[in-house]
Structure 1
Amino acid sequence: MNRFNNCLKQFIMIFLVWICIVLSVSTQVSLQQIISDLDVFKQQIYVDEGGDISVQCNTTELPDKAIYWTKNKTHTTFHRDGIFLNFTRINRTDHGQYICHSFDNKTHVLTEVETVMINVYYKAEVKSIRIHPQDAILENDTYFVYCDVEGNPPPQWRVRNNYTKELLDSARGSGPLITRSIKGKCGDTGPIVCEANNTLNKQPAYMTENFTVYCSPRPSGNYTNVSIGYVGGQAFLIMNLLGYPYPNYTWSRDDGQPIRHATQIDYPSFTVLNMTEIAVSDFGYYSVTMENAYGNFTAQFQLKAYGAPETPFNLNYSDVTWNSVRLYWTSGFDMGSRQYFFIRMLQGGNSYTTISNSIYDNSSSHGVGQNWTYLQTGLKSDTDITLTVQSVNGYGYRSRILYSVTFHTLPSPNGSRDKTKIIIGTTVASVSVVGIAAWMVAYVAYKRKRKSTYHNIN
């Protein structure tokens, strides 16, 4: 009985060992098969469109076996016999999975040997573009852009307004694509472009479609409404705008005067007032009105003067004494920056030196047509003297030298000197009652002998 039990135990142990060996081999075979299958499905072949490739099925050719290839697990659209799968000048339509089959003519067993993924790379292309709605829209209405993009590797595509260069949407992918909802803005009128590229494109492929947004006219961003001009020079008043249909433009002067020395030049998206041979009368404020069927807008511009003030003119003199002379002149435009005058005396025959205080112009007309009187004292007696008047404005520019006047002072009476200076014009000066009376007496005397003492050099 004990012997039987021992034999039974040995048999059971041998059986268990055998079971473990069988299970181990079976498990190893199954794992190897799984790993093999994973390797098969991971097999990738990359080729550029137009290239040639040859793929060999991983099996042995035997007389009793038929080997053939199908595509994408269908036998109807693609079938090619033989252990080799050859492509000459491969096309993008050849992209896909290919399965090698082995059919045993004896056993009639069909086996899928392996699967190969052929990746055909080709440049990105834009096949079509469409905007919905296709008709023109009003400002703030929404629209979509449809793009049909193709390429491998999957391309990066972008939709932008080709006029404003604004990026409207972008993503990566291939096939019919649609943008997000986009709000139409004034100024978007122009071509919408869909472009795409991948690693094979040197330049993006693109396609455009015209697009229209109706809106009232308005300035395009910040516009410069002040232009600087010089007398005798040229300046431009430029109005850049948004708006469609393109508006009509009307330029005018704010003071109601006609526009002179200017040419109006109109373009679809901007208008220009070309100022040439600028005169003092051209400086001031201008307006341009833009109008289309959807509204209007008026913008104001200023043509601002710059440069040296005008040269004073009509220089005359009277009341020559042993140490003084009375000067008269008419001032010109100060170029928009307050000016002052000073008297200059010729010395040495070729240079002038300033001998007066500053005579400020506080007139409301900026000096245009203002008459001035100034009593210059401190002159040398019994001497030929040449004087002129010059102006300087707040820009630091000096006028040209005015024609001078020349006279001879009287001999000095007992060496006395009168250093009184009086300015009479548009400026305000504090003078005493005695001074005013003295001036009136001098003025009456001046009127009596005007013919002999008043010299007009112009």
Structure 2
Amino acid sequence: MLRSKTQANINVKAETFTQKINHQLSELTMIVKCSPRPSLAMVFPNKIAAAQYTNKTLNFVAYEYLDEENKTKFMWLHKNISIDRNDEKFEIISIGLNSSLSVKNITQMDFGEYSVKVSNTIGEYIHHYMLQAEEKPDVPINLTYKSGSITKSSVTLVWTPGFDGGFPQTFILLYQYNQEEKWHSVQVQDTNEQAMDYTLTGLLSSKVYYITMFAMNKKGNSSYTQNLQITTKINVKTADSQSSDNVGIIGGSISGVAVVMIVSILLAAFFLKRRNIRSSQRESPKQGVIAGSHVSSTYTDLDASRREINNYDDFNVTYEHLNASTRAQNTYMELKNTNVPNADTSDYVNIRI
């Protein structure tokens, strides 16, 4: 098995090489040669910011590999022109697999592209840098969410930081759901990692959210990323509660309708019975109390149908024949020579003088 180093000792069992090594263990040395490449342990940004009239150093570290001693060469270039090691504007230091270039007292003419060419007996590798003035940060790259991270109240976002403009940068996350006008914001500090992530919490369940972000430093703000759209998962408890509420509302409505119907039936029966009683009373008029030939029933006790009959024509005595003094006393007097109807006919007359 090969190790991470380019030189390794390998033990092989005798059975593998029976005919060649005659059942004996042998030690093999394997030497691997390759062209230069950047060290996996280092991060080399493509953009580097610097202020005018300051110094800035560019570094490169090659991946560890085995080659002939002192065969690794470094060459630094500015705008594709080789930099003279004797130029006082620059300082180049190369030791083993490491090399650096320092740019002194930077002016506007010093900004631009720099590159380092690393070569050995196998091949070469070129790495590019962009030295530029300090400025606003670049927009963050590839804003998205981590697969499987969306819950009913949270989501984990991931993105790649852009160039910081030469200053520490902060990321501003903005989010809103589709029925809301206000944008909410969260600040996330740059950790100088190649990939950033942040878990956004406190979201509402079963909502469509729009998310965007930008970067800021002391020079200003970057532009916004494109909107990212997510939908939070439904809250199972809330859904069950809403279903129960709906069932309760339906049950309550049905119960209310039933109560109204019962009350309506009772009221209808009550009024129907009352109307029947009144109708029966009209068909059987009340009888007055008769003592001898005197009538004690009042006019109001007579049935309306009876009152409508004019019975005054049955009497022979007229109003003018009554004694004047009797009229003045406002009393009831017995009428003579008057045929009082038989009680069986239920005709009652009460005349008040």
Q: TM-score, normalised by structure 1?
A: 0.25
Structure with more contact order per residue of length (Cα contacts < 8 Å, sep ≥ 6): 2
Which structure: greater strand fraction?
1
Which structure: greater helix fraction?
2
Q: TM-score, normalised by structure 2?
A: 0.32
Determine which structure has more spread, i.e. the larger CA radius of gyration.
2
